[in-house]
Every structure is written in C-alpha cells, then in structure tokens.
A and B are shown apart, each in its own frame.
Chain A
C-alpha cells in the first residue's frame, strides 16, 4: 500500500492526551455528566409528559412564601457555584489554603441548600402532600415533586461529601488542582440541573 510509505512516521498522533488535551479524570467526569444529564432528562421529560396528560394538574405554590423560599434556595445554590469558581481559580494559582476555604464555603452553601429543602419538604408533608396523594388532585404531583427534587437533593448531598474529600486531599497536598477542577465540574452540573428543576417544578406551579 502506498499509504504506508507516506504515512509511516508522519502520523500526527504522538500518544498521550493530545490533541484533545484533556486529562483522563476530567474526561471521565464529563462522560459521567453526559450520562447523568440523560438520567435527569428522562425524569424531567416524563414529568412534562405526565403533566400534559393530566389536564387538572395543580398549581399550588403561592408566590409568598413558596416561590420566594425556593428562590432563596436557588440563590444559595448559585452562590455556591460562584465560591466553587473561586476555589478552582485559587487551586490553579497554587493558593492551597485559600482554595480549601472556598471549597468549605461551597460545602456550606450545599449543606444550607439541603437544609432549606428539607424544611420545605416538611412543610409540604404537613400540608398533606405524599408521593401517592395530595390535597389538590392528581396524585402524580407529589410523586414528581418528591421524586425529581429528591434525586437532585441526593446529588447535592453526595456533592458535599465529595467536596469534603477533595478539600481534605487538596489541603494535605495529595490531590492536584485538576482534582479540584473536576469536582467543580460536578458541582456546576448539579447546579445546572437545578436551573431546569426550578422553573419546571416550582415556577410553572405558581398559584394564579
């Protein structure tokens, strides 16, 4: 074959991570995010489909206090994304202690979000909302609410633990700045999912 003579050693491929220039850990996290995004997509599409299929779907959330409360949750979560950006930036500049502080701030934001969310759930349960029934009509309202927000809250809780491990490892010099960045990818992804959950579950259910 002529191809072999011309191509012999002139192949641009030199092994390693180029030309994609992405480390395995970061690539692995992106791939996880793709598959997890599909899982959330299925949950949200199923919810949307069932909502269309049930014309009497309730819109029970009053602007004050339910929407304002969930907006507060959103602000807390988004703020924790900002602190995560600061953590990654500090880690990349080699400021180990600063990075750890920003990660701890991010964990605090995540924990606060989970706490607020649990408070809100307790409130709804007191009102009589269950996965299989609620005071306002189609039982699927409770199922979708608890199922989807529960799935997201689990991701936030796992993220807080994950960040805890990263902050310990990075603080002791065992983890690299790339590890911080990879954990940041996960954290931003979880925030991004909330930016779909918030309008679809909360804002579209605001009381007239």
Chain B
C-alpha cells in the first residue's frame, strides 16, 4: 500500500478472490460499474411500474399482473406513481450519471490511481444498495407502498395508517430508505470533491480539466449541500411518524372522521426543506449529462469546446442559482406573492447560463467535421431535449401561469423531458462512448442507432402531447379519467401517449440485448478508438487495476485540442509534450 503525500491511499495491490475483487471491491472502476448496474436494474423496475400505470389510464378495467385484486384501485395507482418517481429520481438519475460514470472516469481523467477514500467509496455503494432494498421492501409490507408521491408531502406522509393504505409501514420504510440514501450520497459527494481537489496529476490545472470532471465536481458540491438538508427533513418526518411529534402536522386535522391529536406543526416547513434539496437535485441529475454532452460534441465534431471557460462558469452559476429557486415548486402553496415574484425572477435568470451552454454547444458543432456515432447522436438528442424541456420551464417559472399549469400534465411533460429523458440520454451517450474503455469491446453501432432513433422519436411522442393535455386542463395524478366528462375528448391523446410509451419501452430491450451481447461478442476495442484527447484513452481497454500502472501521467495542454494547426493528427492528447508534437510534425 502506497500512501499519497496528501495522506490518501493512492495505489493499492490488486485484490484476489471473487468477493474482494467484484463484490466488496474498493476499486473505483468496479464500484462505478456496480452503480451503473444498480441504476440499470432500477430503471427497468421503474419503467415496468410506468407501464402498469399507462395501461390502467387508458384501459381502466383491464386486469393487470402483480396488482392485488387484478384491477388497479386509485390508491394502488398512487403507490405505483410514488415508487416510480422515487426509484427513478434517487436510484437512477442520482446514481448512474454521478456515482456510476463519475466514479469510473473522474479519477482516470485527472490522472489518479483511485478515489481519495476507496473504502468510503465502497461503503457508499453498499449503503445505496441497502436503501434500494429498504425502499422496495415497501411493496411487500401490510398496506403496500406509500401513496404520497416522491415529494412525500405532509400531512399525508406524516400521519400514518389513518391517511390511507401504504401510509403505515410502507411510508416509514420509504422515509428510512431515503434517509439512508442521503448518507450514502453525502459520502460519495465528499469523496468526489476531495479527489478532484487533491489527486489531480501534474499539469492538470482546473482549467485543463475535461468538462465531464467539472460537471461531476460541481454535482458533488450540490450533493454535499443538498442531501444534508433532506437528511434532517427525513429525521423530523420519521420522528413525526414514530415518536408522535408534530413538526409537520398542524392542529385541528380530521382524517376519516378521526380527530388527529397532533398540533402546532407546519406542512409548509416540509415543502421548504424538501425543495431546498429537491431543486438542486434536478441539477444533480442533469449536470453530468451536460458535461458528457460537451465532451461528445467536441470529440465527434473534431473541434475544441467553444467557450470552455464560459461553459465552466455557466455550470457554476447554474449550480449556485439552483439553490435560490426552490420556492417555484410552491407557487400554489399560498406563499406571499412577493416571495413568488422573487423566486420567479431568480428562476428565469437560470435561463441565461442555460442559453450560454446551448449556444456554446451549437458553436462547438459549427463548422465541425461531425462523426455521427451513436454516442454523438445521443449527445445531440440531449441538446434537443434540454432546449425543449427547458423552454417549458420558463412558462412554469411565472406564478400566474403556474397557478393554472401546476397540477396538470404540463408539469409532467416538462420535468420528464428535462430531468428524466435528457439525463438518460446523457447516460446513453456516456455508455456508448465509454463502453469500449470499460469492457474492452464496442457496443453494436447499427443496433445503437436504431435504438436511438426510435427512442428519440418515442420520448417526444410521449411527452410533447402531455403539454397539450396540460393546456387543456388535464389534471395529473388522476388514476381514472372516465368519471370526468371534460376529459373525454382528451382520451385519444392519452391512448396515443400510452401506445408510444409501450413502443419506446419495448425498444429499450434492443439496448439491453445490445449491452449483454456486446459484453461477450462486441467488436474488440483499441486503446483510443474515438481518437479522443483525454487521459482515459491513453491506457489499455479495460484499464489495469491502478489505472496508470504506477506511472503518474503529466499533462501539457487543455482538454479538447482537436484540429490544431501544425499537428499531424487532428487531435493532440493531453499528455503529449510539445516536443513530441513537434516530432510528429
């Protein structure tokens, strides 16, 4: 074991034996893959829940598998909705982009042998896994999964069994699961920040870091500041549920003819605390996708990132502003119109750095020699979804408009496009790009492109019509639409969305088959198949246990030096010394 001068463990001998090598591994690469697999499994679970919901919405009398009693009740619908949201947000969008790909590639891209705290890294994965199990256990207890949504608003979430099925043991398990997840995320965030600050190799100054590293670094800072707040909120909610306190429960409530004994608390307090976490959480999900997109556009347009510094500053200001706008989730909570005005202006100001990023992406593409690989297609898809989902955010940022839209499908369409699908496209792009490095084989490109095009058209077919449903006044969270006459004419749109969703989800199995098939039979990958510049492409595919075989790389240049005048190749890797470039010339 070699101890780094900073005190962190810098390189360690490769472990032997299956358990220490693949299960309780402290190697950041194995942990990254573990996180990606956890996210992949969770994503399919989450998609399956959405299929059940979409079937029930359109064919309310259909008998469904896994549903007690066959035909779904409104409460069961809400339970599925809650678990779909919680699993997708916590277990997919928070884990794969940051803890998955970040774990694998952040240390390599900065020239380090491992994370600063390998054991904490391992613990943070297994604690995340534990929290997934606790959360899923909610399905199997008396009353089933909670029905209060992924936002768990009190008093519904705080009162216990009398509030409805799933609000007993199920909700308690949910709160415990989320609290455990907070702990794991904090450990991960602390590790990422320390690694980025302390373990960069010689020459890797901040402004030479790949934008992916910047994105993971800033996401870790957001996580560090956001999850501590959610943890405290969960502790208070758990006390309300188990110690009969009243932090979030006001007095005088009557639930199903029972007078509630609690008094003195505030439901708005939870909303403030939850969204103080919840809004930065949106950026925790999407920032890594932004970093990956910048990385892809530069690599496959064969041009340096247009406005590298502006990209860094834009991400910093998006991260900062993300902490100042939580109130825009609460416009309909009865907050003072003056607060709403302030939150509204701050929210719309996020449009400025977002526009900087979008225009710089277009600037990076401009005049480039674009190579349309699957990774590039998904990155372009990210830009498209980011713009589409972001523009509807400007509508919702205005209190007067949000009052109408807030409880409609408009919001569902908006956040799925920008937070859900855009972030997922970032992950697909990352996977197609880095799969050769991670497993030594390429994913199949024709299958990948087929998967991309159907998914790209599919997600627009699902989520674009939802905006129109919202404008027409279609409320969200309703399980049965047949009771309301005014929703009748909208039924064909819902049917279209459901069919589009089934097709899009079916296509994801093409991806799954591609993933499994390519692991074994994919085209063998060389060291640097994409002719890219960053450090991960200077080491074998897959990389050895300590990444650089004990030799610390030295960095001589910025991250994206493509199409440099004078150079023979159209790319100059970061580790190439000026005299080596001259010799090549």
Residues in A lying within 8 Å of B, measured CB to CB: 1, 3-5, 7-9, 11-17, 20, 22-28, 31-32, 34-43, 46, 49-50, 53-54, 131-132, 138-140, 142-143, 146-147, 151, 176, 178
Contact = CB atoms under 8 A, between A and B. Distances in A.
A8 B558 CA distance: 9
A176 B244 CA distance: 46
Interface string B181-205: 0000010011101100111111111
Given A25-B7, A49-B266, A178-B7, A5 B116 contact: no
Interface string B259-294: 001111110010001000000000000000000000
Nearest to B572: A4
A161 B194 CA distance: 25
Contact of B239 (A4, A16, A25, A147): A147
Contacts of A131: 239, 243-245
Nearest to A36: B228
Interface string B44-73: 000000000000000000000000000000
A4 B558 contact: yes
Interface stretch (B95-103, B229-237, B345-353): B229-237
Contact of B245 (A38, A39, A132): A132
Contacts of A41: 232
A5 B565 CA distance: 12
B330 to A, nearest CB: 15
Contacts of A15: 111, 200-204, 552
Contacts of B228: 34-39, 42
Contacts of A13: 200, 202-206, 208
Interface string B502-530: 00000000000000000000000000000
29 contacts: A4-B556, A8-B578, A9-B556, A11-B203, A11-B208, A13-B206, A13-B208, A14-B202, A15-B111, A15-B204, A15-B552, A16-B198, A23-B7, A23-B198, A24-B6, A24-B117, A24-B194, A27-B194, A28-B190, A38-B229, A38-B232, A42-B229, A54-B264, A132-B243, A139-B246, A143-B239, A143-B247, A147-B247, A176-B7
A46 B269 contact: yes
B190 to A, nearest CB: 4
A9 B578 CA distance: 9
What 7 A-B pairs have minimum CB-CB distances, sorted nearest first?
A143-B245, A42-B232, A24-B8, A15-B202, A38-B228, A35-B228, A13-B205
Interface residues of B, number: 61
Name which of A5, A12, A32 has the most chain B CB atoms within 10 A of its CB. A32
A31 B198 CA distance: 13
Given A15-B202, A34-B224, A46-B273, A139 B247 contact: no
B435 interface: no
A178 B558 CA distance: 34
Nearest to A35: B228
A50 B227 contact: no
B304 interface: yes
B266 A53 contact: yes
B224 A138 contact: no
A50 B203 contact: no
Contact of A53 (B227, B264, B552): B264
Given A24-B7, A42-B228, A140-B245, 10 more contacts: A1-B304, A4-B557, A15-B200, A15-B202, A15-B204, A16-B5, A35-B190, A37-B228, A132-B244, A139-B264
In this complex, the member of A15, A46, A142, A176 whose beta carbon has the largest number of chain B beta carbons within 10 angstroms is A15
A43 B247 CA distance: 10
Contacts of A3: 558
Q: Which of A5, A46, A176 has the most CB of B within 10 A?
A: A46
B203 A4 contact: no
Residue of B225, B228, B261 with most partner-chain A CB within 10 A = B228
Contact of A139 (B202, B229, B245, B561): B245
The dominant DSSP class at the B interface is loop
A38 B269 contact: no
Given A23-B7, A38-B229, A50 B266 contact: yes
A117 B6 CA distance: 39
Nearest to A5: B578
Contact of B561 (A4, A50, A147): A4
Given A1-B564, A4-B561, A24-B117, A140 B246 contact: yes
Interface string B409-453: 000000000000000000000000000000000000000000000
A22 B243 CA distance: 42
Nearest to A37: B228
Contact of A34 (B203, B225, B235, B572): B225
Contacts of A24: 4, 6-8, 116-117, 194, 198-199
Contacts of A20: 197-198
Contacts of B245: 131-132, 139-140, 142-143, 147
Given A16-B6, A24-B8, A131-B245, A140 B116 contact: no
B263 A139 contact: yes
Contacts of B232: 38-43, 46
B262 to A, nearest CB: 7
B117 A49 contact: no
A170 to B, nearest CB: 14
B384 to A, nearest CB: 30
Given A31-B194, A32-B190, A39 B264 contact: no
A1 to B, nearest CB: 6
B6 A23 contact: yes
Contact of B246 (A14, A36, A40, A132): A132
A8 B575 CA distance: 11
B8 A39 contact: no
B225 A35 contact: yes
Contacts of A138: 263-264
A41 to B, nearest CB: 8
Interface string B163-184: 0000000000000000000000
B6 A17 contact: yes
Interface hub of A7, A12, A35 (most chain B Cβ within 10 A): A35
Contacts of B6: 16-17, 22-24
Given A15-B203, A139-B264, A46 B247 contact: yes
Contacts of B5: 16-17
A9 B273 CA distance: 47
A151 B235 contact: yes
A28 B195 CA distance: 9
Interface string B106-125: 00000100001100100000
A151 B556 CA distance: 49
Nearest to B224: A35
Interface string B135-160: 00000000000000000000000000
Contact of B198 (A27, A40, A49, A50): A27
Nearest to A56: B264
Contacts of B564: 1, 4
Interface string B386-411: 00000000000000000000000000
A89 to B, nearest CB: 20
Contacts of B262: 132, 139
Nearest to A132: B244
